[in-house]
Amino acid sequence: MAKQAVGLLETRGLACLVVGVDAMLKSANIELAGPMKQVGSALCNAVITGDVAAVKAAIDTGAAAASACGEVVSAHVIARPDDAVDGVLPKETVTRAPRK
């Protein structure tokens, strides 16, 4: 079964991407799909998955946080992606420790 939603956040510079991803993970019940990637020319991106509402909220929060300290190039949510999209997404899901 395909993911319910996929979110993509792309920034210019790793520092503001880390700030954005931190805000996304704290704001909604989503998972970071694979490690954050450096694309080139200072472009970095992260992919998240989860239900549609959680991914939308996380992308909005992450883009706002990242834009406060750098440049957000792109922020998109793909609701109910086709199964073929799984072929281009990172395979490894980053797990996080349970909150205390």
Domains of the chain: 5-83 (3.30.70.1710)
Reported residue count of the chain is 100
Q: Which residue has the higher pLDDT, 72 or 38?
A: 72
User: What does the alpha-carbon distance between residue 6 and residue 34 come to, in Å, rounded to a whole number?
Assistant: 13
pTM: 0.84
Residue 9 in this model has a pLDDT that exceeds 70: yes
User: What does the alpha-carbon distance between residue 29 and residue 42 come to, in Å, rounded to a whole number?
Assistant: 28
- Which of 30-34, 75-79, 87-91 has the highest average model confidence (pLDDT)? 75-79
8 Å CB contact between 48 and 6: yes
Residue 1 in this model has a pLDDT that exceeds 50: no
> Residue 43 is encoded by which pair of tokens?
């472009």
- Kindly report the number of other CB atoms within 10 A of residue 67's CB atom: 15
In percent, how much of the chain has pLDDT > 70? 88
| Residue 40: band (very low, low, confident or very high) from pLDDT cuts 50, 70, 90 | confident
Mean predicted lDDT score pLDDT of the chain: 89
Helix (H) / strand (E) element for 78: namely: strand 71-79
